[in-house]
Amino acid sequence: MAAELVGGAVLSSIFNVVFDRISSPEFANWIKGKKLTQKLLERLKTTLYAVQAFLIDAEQKQIKERAVKDWLDSLKAAMYVADDLLDDVFTKAATQKDPGTFFSRFLNSQDREIANRMEEIIDRIESIVNQKDTLGLTKIPKEDMSWRITTSLVGSSNIYGREKDKEAIVKMLLNDDDTGDGDIPVISIVGMGGIGKTTLAQLIYDDDKVENYFNFRGWVCVSEEFDVIKVTKTIIEAITKSPCNLNDLNLLQHELKKRLSEGKFFVVLDDAWNENYGNWNRLLKPFQNGVKGSKILVTTRSTKVALAAQTISSYELSLLSNEDCWLIFSKHARLSTYSMENPTLEKLGRDIVKKCHGLPLAAQALGGLMHGNSDVEHWNRILKSEIWELSEDESELIPALRISYYYLPSCLKDCFVYCSLYPKDYGFDKDELILLWMAQNFLQPVGKKTPEEVGDKYFDELIARSFLQPHSTWENKFAMHDLVHDLAMMFAGEFYFRAEELQNAVEVDIKTRHLSHNAKGNYPISKLLGVCDRIKHTRTFLEINLDRSIPFNMENTPCILLSQLKYLRALSFKDFPLESVPDSIGDLIHLRYLDLSRTDIVTLPESLDNLYNLQTLKLYSCYNLKLLPVGMKGLVNLRHLDIRGTQSLHEMPKGMSKLKNLQFLSDYVVGKRKENKITELGALADLRGSISIGKLENVVKSSEALEARLSDKDGIDSITLSWSSNEEENTVDSQMERDILDKLRPHTNLKGLFIYGYRGTRFSDWVGHSSYHNITKITLGDFSLGGCRNCCMLPSLGQLPSLKHLTIIGFESLESVGAELYFNQNGESCLETPPFPMLETLSFYSMPCWKEWRSLEFNAFPRLRELKIIGCPMLRGDLPSQLPSLQSLQILNCKQLSCCVPRAPSITNLSISGNHLVESVVEAITHTQLSCLTSLRISGCSSHIWFPVSAIPPSLQHLTIEDCRELEFQMDGQHHSLQVLSIQNSCDSITSFSLLDAFPNLVRVFIIKCEMMECIVVSRSLSSLRDLNIFACRSLKSVSTIWMAAPQLEGLKIVGCPEIELSATGDPHHSLRSLEISYSEKLVSSAAFMNSQFHRLTRLCICHECESVKCLPKEGWLPASLESLTLYGVKSVETLECKGLAHLTSLQHLSIDECPKLENIDGEKLPASLIQLFIRESPLLAKRCEMKDPQLWPKVSHIPAIQVNWSWIW
């Protein structure tokens, strides 16, 4: 294999793959005595070895020298072709029935062409390599880092946005607490390139308090060249302010130790890159046992460097606000006061600053470009240009980020650049990205590590080096900073193409190897299909961001892609409206990754069996999928099979035990036949992650369960065991069920256990055994798959030391919960702590026979935060009374439970139902208990309740009252914290509703089924109210006072209120944007009331009708400002009137839902401004549109996107 280069060129990985191929024994056997001679092959090896040394220089020079870039691209393209050809050879060899004779017959007939192509590509590579001498390339030069040498001097006293960061780190530095082992504390500032680590360190270094606190200080710019002798010498010179002539490490370290013993010191090691713990250990030896209070501050882009430097505290630097970036930009632009007060220039400048996305170096660089130039056209050009069009002389931004890429190991460069296929701010899934890297051969084998483990290491490296970072919105997702994304695109070049925006899009290059289409852009898929014949060597096609809400006409996309792109290694049709996969999928013999998730496929073609190289098959949420290919056992390289959510899949294909490379199998549906029984799992020794084993009722003997060898699979950390519910099956051998469960015992590495539909009366002893010390989550029973209805007692779970989340569902035979839940069978504890020492959430659902919970004497649940008891109608007695950590309590549909609320001083969320519970809660509130509540829901109480407003806890923000018809509020004060109020089927005594006056800071209000309510009266300001929802209040006539009281109201829903009159509301309402109403004649008694009252309305939904209507809408009725109009559940309407829509020149979205009689569109055509038309559950109109009825179709065909019953037809 080619030697790995430190900071190697991106071509190194493809070199490694090709070297591995041509050095393999199979290839050596093939070339013996063939036209392709050993001598020619050795010449190729020599050529490739020679050129490797020049790749780093070429990679650096390509930025400025077009000829070098073209040369690199030509070489890379040739290497890709060679790799494709070799992959072809190896695949055909491996899939021959008699592989031993394949190579001996290779040059016969059709195989002769491949041999000739191999010789041609070798000649091509040799020719390209020989051109290197004309380009002036040298061997592995060092990057010019002179611009990165830093000093302790701050460039300006005005440093923006880092005051809090500075204060926090200075506080750490001035803390006299030692580490306890004599080592001097090391504090690291970690962050991506350009985020301002050095600037902040300079600011701290020159701080007066820091200067006065330490006896002496030293600043050293370490940079990438980590030479212990050189760095030590520089530290001595920095703290002594005089030259050091020593060159021996031993003498240098003794001298440094002597100097450091003279007082309290502060040393900054700026811009550190070295991740080797040994090197750092040698460097820091003289610092041991230094004067108490001394500190070392390291700045680095990598958390790995921080760890190697023995950091006790890392401070991760965050991005700046747009305002702080604007201040930096303005300072470096240095324009006159007159220029900066120019509103046009300021707007352009602020828009430019947004492109920096919080990166101060970018703001500084762009501000420098504007230095003294107040030409509006120049600023506009900069705004519209890409950052990377700036030359190195104009901006430090390129080298600031490029240097991070330049020093990546070559194996990471490919992985990083591959991310450019995704749009900016995309949320990367770690596992998905690793599988894609694996498909492209980016993951170089390391010892006994699996490719997935290598990929995991690569991903973590990119995070540690700040190329990837946690997504700001989505949990467990990762993102790239926009400027880092630009960097990836810069180095991706013509080999990557992202079809996203049609405007200014470059043409797809013939060298393209990786292709993606962003469904949220406006690049037509048809345009992409038109160039497929030019990019036949493409290795990746990914459809990104597609979902059913996005207009997508698939046309003939799958067939065209599969027929043209025969070299694909990764293919994603995720979310395609795809009902079948073309048989030609079997021709993609190079394919390693196939994602058909969330498609409508029912079966897969048997030709899928030809995909010998397939490593990943994703069929997640293919709800209609009934069968997997019969010959699936032939996919011997398959490593990842995801069939989660394939609810229609009834059994696995035969011979799954042949897939011995499987690392992840999401689900296994047990069959009844010999070759798809549970025993097939026994041979799959390398499974890891989670697995769900379904239809366990098909396991008839415990010996079959034992053969699955689940206890040996130490890589599985989460397991689901489920039995399908069968109401007709009355006789179950309980002992056999328990024996089967006993043999299904998983490995003790388990973290999650889920058992659904278990049919035995008792659980096996392993369920809850304390040896499962890693288990954090257990769920017994499921709403859809069924509970454990025959179980009459719970397993012993209280001795699990790490259990955090426990859910119990559907134990229909269980009557009592007692000591058996808390302790083992002997009533003993294996723990020194109380039972359930780590449990945080506990939930019980649907336990119809549960009568008693004996828990008082056990002092369990010291950390329980959330308790739910729902649907346990027979439960009576007391709950655990001592729950010191409880924050959330829900007790619903437990009619006989009459206990008091547990003593929980920190409870914040409370939801209870039933007379006694509601009464006790209201009483507790009136006695100033439950003082920390932020959310309260009370329901199902028929007793008369008197609820003083003054007693409501000041912290309460959400209040919901349901089915409490006799509840009355005592209006004895105001409550200023409540933001959301919901009253449903309650407060029957109120006809004039004035409660809103008591809550002046309400934001959202829901009033539902209050049938006695006639009017809503508001006499005080509700300036915070944004959303008012009123449903099924059939006596309600007026809400007139709400308009003056709530001037900021944005959303109003009044549905099922036939007596309401909106036309008498007075002045126009300026803030209302969204309105949902039921149709009635009263609403349109004034023909243009909406147009005059709600002239800024953008969204209108006419939801149901209070009386019959044949045609909608009436001419002039709707406000011209509408952008979205929905007709929902208007059962009687037959005709849509174009005249009533003609004036809606801003209307973009029209939805027609559940209008069964609507068949006609009367008039010329729907508004020209429409971009989307949705027709759902309206069969008459839907049929005419689907058939493109000549009487109707001309009236809608101008609309770019038409969806009928969730399928896009236009």
428 token code pair: 């990367």
Q: Which residues pair with 780 in a beta bridge?
A: 755, 808
Whole-angstrom distance, CA of residue 639 vs CA of residue 982: 51
- The DSSP line for 568-587 is -SEEE-TT---S---GGGGG
Lowest mean pLDDT among 739-753, 815-829, 877-891: 815-829
306 token code pair: 């921080």
Strand 1099-1105 relative to strand 1074-1079: parallel, antiparallel, unpaired?
parallel
The pLDDT tens digits for 557-581 are 888 889 999 999 999 999 998 889 9
Strand 1004-1008 relative to strand 980-984: parallel, antiparallel, unpaired?
parallel
Does 772 score more than 90 pLDDT? Answer: yes
Does 851 score more than 90 pLDDT? Answer: yes
Q: Looking at residues 163-191, what average pLDDT do you find?
A: 83
Which pLDDT band, with edges at 50, 70 and 90, does 158 fall under? low
Which SS3 state, helix, strand or coil, does residue 293 take? coil
Which pLDDT band, with edges at 50, 70 and 90, does 775 fall under? very high
Whole-angstrom distance, CA of residue 566 vs CA of residue 574: 19
Lowest mean pLDDT among 247-251, 536-540, 835-839, 1161-1165: 247-251
What does the pLDDT read at residue 143? Answer: 47
Q: Looking at residues 385-391, what average pLDDT do you find?
A: 50
Lowest mean pLDDT among 224-233, 409-418, 535-544: 224-233
What does the pLDDT read at residue 404? Answer: 64
The pLDDT tens digits for 226-265 are 888 888 988 998 888 888 888 788 888 888 988 888 889 9
Which is higher by pLDDT, 11 or 189?
Answer: 189
Whole-angstrom distance, CA of residue 224 vs CA of residue 241: 24
Does 726 score more than 80 pLDDT? Answer: no
Q: Residue 900: phi, psi to the nearest 5?
A: -85, 160
What does the pLDDT read at residue 347? Answer: 87
Annotate 348-359 with b (16+ C-beta within 10 A) or e (fewer).
bbeebbebbbbb
Residue 1148 CB neighbours (<10 A)? 16
Lowest mean pLDDT among 50-64, 244-258, 550-564, 675-689: 50-64
Which is higher by pLDDT, 858 or 191?
Answer: 191
Does 3 score more than 50 pLDDT? Answer: no
Does 337 score more than 80 pLDDT? Answer: no
Strand 1135-1137 relative to strand 1160-1162: parallel, antiparallel, unpaired?
parallel
Contact present, 544 and 427 (Cβ < 8 Å): no
Whole-angstrom distance, CA of residue 283 vs CA of residue 274: 12
Average pLDDT, the chain: 85
Q: Domain residue spans in the chain?
A: 12-135, 146-316, 322-399, 1068-1210
Which is higher by pLDDT, 1129 or 1105?
Answer: 1129
Q: Which residues pair with 913 in a beta bridge?
A: 939
Does 1149 score more than 90 pLDDT? Answer: yes
Whole-angstrom distance, CA of residue 636 vs CA of residue 99: 15
Does 1113 score more than 80 pLDDT? Answer: yes
What does the pLDDT read at residue 474? Answer: 78
| H-run or E-run covering 820 | helix 819-822
What does the pLDDT read at residue 961? Answer: 95
- Cα–Cα distances (Å) from 168 to 220, 296, 316, in that order, read 22, 15, 11
Does 1049 score more than 80 pLDDT? Answer: yes
Which pLDDT band, with edges at 50, 70 and 90, does 1059 fall under? confident
Q: Shortest CA distance to 1150 belongs to which of 1198, 1090, 1089, 1095?
A: 1198
Which is higher by pLDDT, 68 or 962?
Answer: 962
Q: Looking at residues 570-598, what average pLDDT do you find?
A: 94
What does the pLDDT read at residue 1088? Answer: 46
Q: Which residues pair with 1051 in a beta bridge?
A: 1027, 1074
Contact present, 713 and 749 (Cβ < 8 Å): no
Global pTM exceeds 0.95: no
| H-run or E-run covering 1102 | strand 1099-1105
Does 745 score more than 50 pLDDT? Answer: yes
Does 1064 score more than 70 pLDDT? Answer: no
The pLDDT tens digits for 621-677 are 999 999 999 999 999 999 999 999 998 998 999 999 999 999 999 999 999 988 899
What does the pLDDT read at residue 964? Answer: 93
- Residue 555 is which amino acid? E
Give the rounded percent of residues in the chain with a pLDDT score beyond 70: 88
What does the pLDDT read at residue 6? Answer: 33
Q: Looking at residues 172-192, what average pLDDT do you find?
A: 79
What does the pLDDT read at residue 400? Answer: 53
Does 106 score more than 60 pLDDT? Answer: no
Is the four-CA dihedral 357, 360, 362, 367 of positive or negative sign? positive
CATH topology of domain 146-316: Rossmann fold (3.40.50)
What does the pLDDT read at residue 147? Answer: 44
Three-state SS for 32-57 is CCCCCCHHHHHHHHHHHHHHHHHHHH
Contact present, 138 and 176 (Cβ < 8 Å): no
Lowest mean pLDDT among 4-8, 146-150, 195-199, 886-890: 4-8
